Amino acid sequence: MSDQTSIKLSDYYDTATFSRIKALADTKETPFVVIDTATINRQYDELTEGFPYASVYYAVKANPAPEVLTLLRDKGANFDIASIYELEKVMSHGVTPERISYGNTIKKSRDIRTFYEKGVRLYATDSEADLRNIAKAAPGSKIYVRILTEGTLTADWPLSRKFGCQTDMAMDLLILARDLGLVPYGVSFHVGSQQREIGAWDSALGKVKIIFERLKEEDGIELKMINMGGGFPANYINRTNELKTYAEEIERFIREDFGDDFPEIIIEPGRSLISNAGVLVSEVVLISRKSRTALHRWVFTDVGKFSGLIETLDESIKFPIYTEKTGEHEDVVIAGPTCDSADIMYEHYKYGLPLNLAIGDRMYWLSTGAYTTTYSAIEFNGFPPLKDYYI
């Protein structure tokens, strides 16, 4: 029995949007991803309606295409940037430095200097060595300290273990920031990407509240800002609450901890803004069975772990897959085209695909606008990077 038999396209795209995407897809050779910018536009509006009190810092790594950056620039977004390369890209589209935050806690001193020279004055940190580097290379800047959060188990793509520090260390760092002539400005967290448990924000905000209160009472430091990171949902096979529910609950959590007098709030959406706007289109290269009596067919397609689908690692993100064939479905293993046995997308979680699916048929991988194009290898086995088209 399949874990998933067939998906309902209308759960993911309205008819007009999918037709628009398909009209372009029909003219191109696979594999590629089509990104519908009207969907990004709508997702942005939904997000800012849900969080009217927050400033949006788009996490550029989700999709740094010029079409995406200029759209978000014109919508008034700010940008969360992780490297000097992203910095250059974003600024080349006319984004001014006061709309940029250097959100990576792992950075070279000379890169901090580059950000500072370009005019960026907002920096994340989670360690003493990095903080001292910032004090030297970006004197007087605003600092926010990233804390560790729970929620690793309920996020489909956890981000919370590598980054952040414990609450006590966060307080030490904010005090040190002041002593080094920096501005101790706020606290950040990321509850994990595609976080399905809204309560993860509650426990993170609870920790932030303790830091705000203790620093004020014991050290006279008044923090101004909470950066709630990303983690808001996209539509994959594992369903989540709607964004609206996230927004209502999170607002309630903030109100419980901070009253009606909200600090400055930042959110850093990536996936939730972009994923639903993209459809990755691949073609079936081969269908086979490993023995005469094998229960599962293997479906090999011309896109894989090395051409945009790295988030299928450990089968973490389960992308909905749509095909135009209908009728009876059967469990399959789905794998990519390269000569690396790690290039299997789904083996344990059984996708049901139509029995009459044939070589040459197209597979539509839904909700693939984020974290696909840039994760694609440049030449593994000679396969070119994933192409992307924007409408």
Ligand X SMILES: *Cc1c(COP(=O)(O)O)cnc(C)c1O
Binding site for ligand X (CB under 6 A): 59, 61-62, 80, 103, 159, 190, 193, 229-232, 268-272
Residue with tokens 């639903």: 276
CA distance 104 to 193: 15
Residue placing its CB nearer to ligand X in the complex, 63 or 338: 63
Residue number, nearest CB to ligand X: 230
Residue placing its CB nearer to ligand X in the complex, 267 or 332: 267
Residue placing its CB nearer to ligand X in the complex, 106 or 342: 106
Contacts of 299 (CB under 8 A, 6+ apart): 284, 286, 287, 332, 333, 334, 335, 353, 357
Q: How far is the CB of 261 from ligand X (least distance, A)?
A: 25
Q: How far is the CB of 258 from ligand X (least distance, A)?
A: 21
Q: How far is the CB of 232 from ligand X (least distance, A)?
A: 6
The 10 Å Cβ neighbour count of residue 92 is 10
Residue placing its CB nearer to ligand X in the complex, 188 or 323: 188
CA distance 362 to 34: 14
CA distance 184 to 163: 19
Q: How far is the CB of 91 from ligand X (least distance, A)?
A: 19
Residue 145: beta bridge partners? 125, 187
Q: How far is the CB of 140 from ligand X (least distance, A)?
A: 23
CA distance 194 to 106: 22
Residue placing its CB nearer to ligand X in the complex, 59 or 357: 59
Instruction: Give kind and range of the element (H or E) at residue 221.
Output: none
Q: Which amino acid is at 37?
A: T
Q: What does the block give as tokens for 32?
A: 């590629």
Q: How far is the CB of 86 from ligand X (least distance, A)?
A: 11
Q: How far is the CB of 131 from ligand X (least distance, A)?
A: 17
How far does the chain reach from its first CA to its final CA, in angstroms?
A: 38
Residue placing its CB nearer to ligand X in the complex, 230 or 352: 230
Residue placing its CB nearer to ligand X in the complex, 17 or 63: 63
Strands 54-59 and 297-301: unpaired
CA distance 357 to 335: 15
Q: What does the block give as tokens for 273?
A: 């803004």
For residue 67, the Cα-to-chain-centroid distance in whole angstroms is 17
Q: How far is the CB of 157 from ligand X (least distance, A)?
A: 7
Q: How far is the CB of 391 from ligand X (least distance, A)?
A: 22
Residue placing its CB nearer to ligand X in the complex, 103 or 304: 103
CA-to-CA separations, 273 to 3, 21, 39, 197, in angstroms, rounded: 27, 17, 9, 18
Q: How far is the CB of 330 from ligand X (least distance, A)?
A: 33
Bond prior to 269 in cis (omega within 30° of 0): no
Residue placing its CB nearer to ligand X in the complex, 191 or 333: 191
Break the chain down into helix, strand, coil percent, rounded to 5.
Answer: 35, 25, 40
CA distance 332 to 353: 7
Q: What does the block give as tokens for 223?
A: 């923090």
Q: Which amino acid is at 333?
A: V
- Which conformational region is residue 305 in: left (phi greater than 0), alpha (psi within -120 to 50 degrees), or beta? alpha
Residue placing its CB nearer to ligand X in the complex, 133 or 227: 227
